[in-house]
Amino acid sequence: MFLTYEEMIVHTKDTVKGVAAFLGKPVEEEKEVEEIVKMCSFEKLSTLEVNKSEDKTSKRFSCNIAYFPNSIFFRKVMVGDWMNHFTPEMIKRLYHITKQKLQGSGFEFRFD
């Protein structure tokens, strides 16, 4: 299964349903989809509360992870921001590696 950040932002609920089905845990109820979206939102995940929480609001899905400083995982919610952290040479190299690794997969990573 291939996902892009851009697709997840535009089609969040459909993406949640697709990932759940892919993992063999289909979810159809809109309320449950909304709960998953809320639990896994940037706002929720970027707080220490989620890393330390023992809350198991949903027994089927859990976004809890081992404790790491949130700054390791989260920067800001902005499509294409990654390009601000790479030099033109790094972007060129990443493009070639990605193209080579994804060849034949049917997935094409967009660099725009």
Which span out of 15-29, 43-57, 89-103 was modeled with the highest average pLDDT? 15-29
Q: What is the mean pLDDT of the chain?
A: 77
Locate the domains of the chain by residue range: 5-74, 80-112
Digit-coded pLDDT (tens) for 76-85:
667 777 778 8
Q: Of 5, 36, 35, which Cα lies nearest the Cα of 23?
A: 36
pTM of the predicted model as reported, rounded to 2 decimal places? 0.58
Rounded to whole angstroms, the Cα distance separating 22 from 16 reads 10
